[in-house]
């Protein structure tokens, strides 16, 4: 299975769909948040559930770089130039 989130590396070039079956019944999906949450209430419930799992420690979020809030410009430039990996956060 391949899941495509966004286009930070550029658009996926066209390909022959038959290639997916030839390589072992593979499939590609391009999920959109609003197909999974139909209302503001549902979105809030989903977000609350996600953050509850993170706070519980069941899921660890690797933060690969931290930028002081005063370095917001440098953070944006690093993201834009694609020199970051994983999560990047701004801290006060």
Q: Encode pLDDT of 34-91 as tens digits.
A: 888 889 999 999 999 999 999 999 988 889 999 999 999 999 999 999 899 888 999 9
Instruction: Look up residue 12 and give its DSSP letter.
Output: P
**Residue 42: inside a domain:** no
Tell whether the model's pLDDT for residue 2 goes beyond 90: no
- Please tell me whether the overall predicted TM-score, pTM, comes out greater than 0.75 for this model: no
Tell whether the model's pLDDT for residue 9 goes beyond 80: no
Q: Tell me the residue range of the domain where 78 lies.
A: 62-92
**Residue 74: inside a domain:** yes
**Residue 92: inside a domain:** yes
Phi-psi map region of 25: left, alpha, beta (phi>0 left; psi -120 to 50 alpha): left
How many domains is the chain partitioned into structurally?
Answer: 1
Tell whether the model's pLDDT for residue 27 goes beyond 80: yes
**Residue 91: inside a domain:** yes
């Amino acid at each position: 299975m391949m899941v495509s989130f966004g286009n930070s590396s550029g658009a996926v070039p066209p390909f022959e769909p038959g290639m997916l079956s030839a390589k072992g019944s593979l499939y590609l999906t391009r999920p959109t948040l609003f197909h999974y949450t139909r209302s503001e209430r549902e979105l809030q419930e989903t977000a609350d559930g996600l953050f509850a799992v993170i706070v519980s420690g069941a899921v660890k979020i690797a933060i690969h770089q931290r930028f002081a809030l005063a370095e917001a410009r440098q953070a944006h430039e690093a993201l834009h130039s694609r020199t970051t990996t994983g999560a990047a956060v701004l801290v006060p």
